[in-house]
Structure 1
Amino acid sequence: MLAGAAGMADFSQCRQFFAHSAPPRVTATSDLKLRPLCYDAFAVMHSGRSKTPVYVAERLSRSQLVDARDEKRTNQFFADARLPRAERAELDDYRGSGWDRGHLAPAGDQPTAQAMAQSFSLANMTPQAPKNNREAWSSIESATRKYAMRAKGDVYVISGPVFSDRPQTIGAGRVWVPSYYFKLVYDPTTNRAWAHWIANTNEARPSKPISYHELVKRTGIEFLPGLMPGENTTATAPELRAESTTRGNREPKREPKREGEDLGQALRSLIQPIAQDFERIMHTLLRWWAQLRHIMA
């Protein structure tokens, strides 16, 4: 199982993505060549050994997710030049591997064009089973956005891979393939936290979330140092359902409707039959008028 370097990492330029500005504490079992990376809308703890993230942290707000709705995916994947070549995944590692380049900070969360472009860094990716990426994991991402949209304040989200003791690898760079994924959601306004846990297989389906303390036990990472979120966390987690898309290596962008859309749909459903009736009446009147003119002529 992947663990990180002891102590808290230096994310001095992007501590806003962590609750109380405190990055996770991780216990070292080996040299993982850890490097913290800051982006506009998320932070990555990257391992030069696995050539993947150890975790990716986000701070979601309603306003951010509203802005994210209008952003278009770039689909321009790239190797992050801030990482040494020997410690990073390359595009060729994924090519022909049969695995998706699966986002950990989703494209659907990114509020600006630059943040969207940054989300396609391979430092934000892991080799993910295609159906898992496009359906089960996408469902978890969508449910997380829906919760953040209705939360009373900002919500902290930390996502990451979990590896076996002898992980499968892909490409000449030997990028590690995760066995599992987790997505931790923490709401400070309620002091509740829960974690989605799912196998990296095409057959995996979303299941009942696990508690924060169970996630810490399974990963060896203290994601919320100094905090003690409530135990009865799974009652707060949103309901999940599997979703699918045929858009290839893309995450479906299923966002909550804009304010007023429900009213607009209701008005359209009310007006449409009236308009259809009016059209039929006008057609009949015009036909009668044509017949009357013919008789009078």
Structure 2
Amino acid sequence: MSKTTLAVIAAASAGAGAAITATMYSLRSQSERKIDSISTSNTTSNLPTAPTPIPIPAKQIFTPNQEAIQTGYSTSAPPVLGPVDPSGLFEYGFPGPIADVATRQALVSSYDRRLRNPHWVVEHITPASLALRDGDRKHSVFIEDEGVPDKFRAHLKDYFRSGYDRGHQVPAADAKWSQTAMNETFYLSNMCPQVGEGFNRDYWAHFEDFCRGLTRRYPSVRIVTGPLYLPKRDPADNKWYVRYEVIGNPPNVAVPTHFYKVIFAEDGRAGGNVAIGAFVLPNARIPNEKPLADFEVPIEAVERASGLEFAAKLPPQRRKRLCTDTTCALVIREYADRQKAFAKPEKR
């Protein structure tokens, strides 16, 4: 990751001030000029060759190479013969990493066992999905995800008196079309520790409202949300360090330094245009008057910071910049008012 990318993302915090705002606007100007020339080169996984098949479950392989999916390793090159056989270890088990992928009614998620947070969570909202109100969050409870092995799972007790909210990555309000769908957003595999007052219950919630509001202009909106752990320069030695809190007993759930959302607002036509917006927000108190546009970054910056790819198959000619195509601004509503809006309307 370039120093420019690190500096811009790491500095995009609530108290960054006018200097960082200027940097962000400068970066967005560069992004506008280059939006039509975004690279869409596909990067395929280079799985190691081995004399014997590596026993990786098919669901843990993310590659277009179907042979690798079926056999667990690539046979594009002949096995390397020599005096050692490293793959012999796999007779006892494959060390990983393993991504626990869950497909639920309103979301698909990939879970990071090491940090006890999701890598990413994907959702899809439409005017029709938001119009239905069959779900009521007062009937939902936070629950541990038993699809993740216990020793790698985030537990309810990990958040107890931690000082952090159990922050939804896909918000419950986006799944109110079904009680089951809403209940499934309360799995801890859809949560990260988030600062409560000033962020999860305020600015982040306003940001979620902004995403829902996009369905007034776009018939289909797809969103990827997840945590980031970004470096910060230490003034003592002028070096960059990644530093984050860990909560739980024993400490095992990482507290992200930042969160990202990558938004794909579709025009509804087959092969039509997609307005893309990428945002990185610090896990900290943010004043409500802070412009949302200050947190906009190029999608490539989120990819470099997260190690993920979001739009490799979307041609440049179909891409538009979200904050050029529509207004990227928050409508501030009090938290209590939002909670009332989530409630199921009374039957008359």
Flag whether TM exceeds 0.5 (same fold).
Answer: yes
C-alpha contact (below 8 Å) 1:126/1:161 kept by paired residues: yes
In the alignment, which of 222, 229, 233 is matched to residue 322 of structure 2?
A: 233
From 232, 246, 265, the counterpart of 1:169: 246
Query: In the superposition, relative to structure 1, how do residues 254 and 31 fare at CA in structure 2: closer, same or farther (>3 Å)?
Result: farther
Residue pairs, 1:73-92, within 5 angstroms: 73=137, 74-92=139-157
> For residues 175-211 of structure 1, what are the alpha-carbon distances to aligned partners after superposition, in whole Å with 9 as ceiling and x for unaligned?
0101001111102323210022210012365531223
Structure 2 unaligned residues grouped into runs of 5+? 2-43, 47-57, 62-94, 231-241, 268-272
1:207 and 2:292 equivalent? yes
Q: By how many angstroms is 1:167 displaced? A: 2.6
Q: Return the alpha-carbon distance in structure 2 between the equivalents of residues 140 and 11 of structure 1.
A: 32
| Distance in 1 separating the partners of 2:225 and 2:340 | 18
Cα deviation, residue 240, structure 1: 1.4
| Partner Cα distance (1:253, 1:126) in 2 | 24
Equivalent pair of 1:129/1:201 in contact (CA under 8 Å): yes
Letter aligned with residue 223 of structure 1? F
Note closer, same or farther for the CA distance 1:146–1:82 as it changes in structure 2 (3 Å cut). Answer: same
- In the alignment, structure 1 residue 245 sits paired with structure 2 residue 330: no
Q: CA contact under 8 A between 2:158 and 2:247: conserved in structure 1?
A: yes
**How big is each residue's C-alpha offset from its partner over 1:104-143, in whole Å with a ceiling of 9 and x where there is no partner?**
0100000200011111100000000002101111011000
Stretches of structure 1 that go unaligned for 5 or more consecutive residues are 13-29, 259-297
- State the one-letter code of the partner of 1:214: A
Counterparts in 2 of 1:65-80, with a 5 A limit? 65-67=130-132, 69-73=133-137, 74-80=139-145
What's 2:266 paired with?
188
Establish whether residue 159 from structure 1 lines up as the match of residue 236 from structure 2. no
Aligned residues of 1:34 and 1:48 also touching (Cα < 8 A): yes
For residue 292 of structure 1, what is the aligned residue in structure 2? none
Give 2:180's aligned amino acid.
Q
Aligned to 2:174: 109
In structure 2, relative to structure 1, the CA distance for the partners of 1:194 and 1:10 (3 Å cut) is farther
2:249 match: secondary structure: coil
Give the aligned length: 230
- Measured after TM superposition, the shift of residue 70 of structure 1 is 4.4
SS at match of 1:235: helix
TM score, norm. by length of structure 1: 0.69
Structure 2 residue corresponding to 1:141, chosen from 197, 208, 212: 208
**TM norm structure 2:** 0.60
The one-character-per-residue Cα deviations of 1:68-125 (angstroms, maximum 9, x if unpaired) are x442103410101111001110000000001000000100000200011111100000
Say which is worse superposed, 200-209 or 238-247, in terms of deviation.
238-247
Answer yes or no: is the 8 Å Cα contact 1:136–1:206 preserved in 2: no
Identity of aligned residues (%): 27
Moved more, 44-53 or 183-192: 183-192
Q: Is the 8 A contact 1:167 1:178 kept in 2?
A: yes
Q: List per-residue Cα deviations over 1:256-275 (Å, max 9, x = no partner).
A: xx9xxxxxxxxxxxxxxxxx
Shift of 1:11: 9.3
Q: CA RMSD in A?
A: 2.9
Taking structure 1 as reference, are residues 149 and 241 closer, same or farther at Cα in structure 2, changes over 3 Å only?
closer
Report the alpha carbon displacement of residue 33 of structure 1 after superposing the two structures with TM: 3.5
Aligned partners of 2:265 and 2:322 also within 8 Å: no
Distance 1:46 1:63 in 2: 29
From 184, 189, 195, the counterpart of 1:123: 189
Shift in Å, 1:65: 0.8
Structure 1 residues 11, 44: closer, same or farther in 2, change over 3 A?
Answer: farther
Contact kept in structure 2, 1:206 and 1:241, CA below 8 Å: no
Q: Is the 1:36–1:46 contact (alpha carbons within 8 Å) kept by the matching residues of 2?
A: yes
